[in-house]
Amino acid sequence: MILHPYRESLLSQLYPGYQHSSNCLEPAVRTLEQRLPLPAGYRRKMLWRLDGGFGGDDKLDWLLARGYRLLAKGCSNRRAACLAPQVRRWQPVTPTKYVGRVPTPHAFCRPLDTFVIRYHTPTGWKHTYLYSDLHLSGRATAQCYDQRGGAETEFRSDKSGGLHLHKRRKHKRDAQEAWVLLTDIAHNYLAWFARTILPASPFADWGCLRITRDLFHIPGWVQIAQGQLLSVKLLKSSPYAEAMLGCLQRFWK
């Protein structure tokens, strides 16, 4: 899943469970470019935040050569172990995480900053490293990378939240892909609904599950004539009816 800043899904692709993420990156980028044909100059405004599973230096260099911004975790544990002793000063990110700058160990087509992340686990201290062309401090780079979880959160919400993607499996690949795309349409409708109708209300921070479970199940009556919405009546005994009517009235003014 690739997300728009409005938390809408721009692209979802279905792959066999055994396919490695590194083999999905280039097809996903090329498909996104076809479906969202922006001028090449806009790529400098698009940031790809990638975890280590999306490939090595060659994959990252391919993205850089296409003009995109990049914030990616390195995929080599051995390289992380070699880079960690080169850090001269560690900066705290959290009480259990530190970051330090090191020279970039690979010649990319564009200059990149390299930061080593030192973090504590139940088995001791471990290290990983980040590549970035955002030209931020080490702490800001680590914090920006930690915000990448939007897609995972939204996909998990689609699976176990109100859309129940994981409970509807199709035996044929094409049928399953169609179901994923239908779920994307529903996901984007919910994103629009939350962004457009629910701000400045008690439901402003509600996610997919609570919207579909609590708001969309309020009993009521909708009157439509000749394609025009005439009135909406909601059951007064519902604890959310009054606030929901307020949202609808503000939207239709």
Measuring CA to CA, which residue among 226, 227, 232, 237 is closest to residue 250?
232
Instruction: Divide the 253 residues of the chain into consecutive groups of 10 and give the mean pLDDT of each group.
Output: 62 75 86 84 89 88 94 94 96 95 94 96 94 95 82 54 66 81 86 91 88 92 90 93 92 80
How many Cα atoms within 13 Å fall on the side-chain side of residue 120?
Answer: 7
Residue-range domains of the chain with CATH: 2-154 (3.90.350.10), 161-252 (no CATH)
Q: Write down the pLDDT at residue 28.
A: 86
Nearest to 180 by CA among 195, 164, 192: 164
pTM over 0.75: no
Q: Which pLDDT does position 159 carry in this prediction?
A: 54
- Give the pLDDT score at 112: 96
Per-residue model confidence (pLDDT) at position 32? 86
Please give the radius of gyration of the chain, using alpha carbons only, rounded to the nearest integer: 23
Looking at residue 156, its pLDDT comes to 54
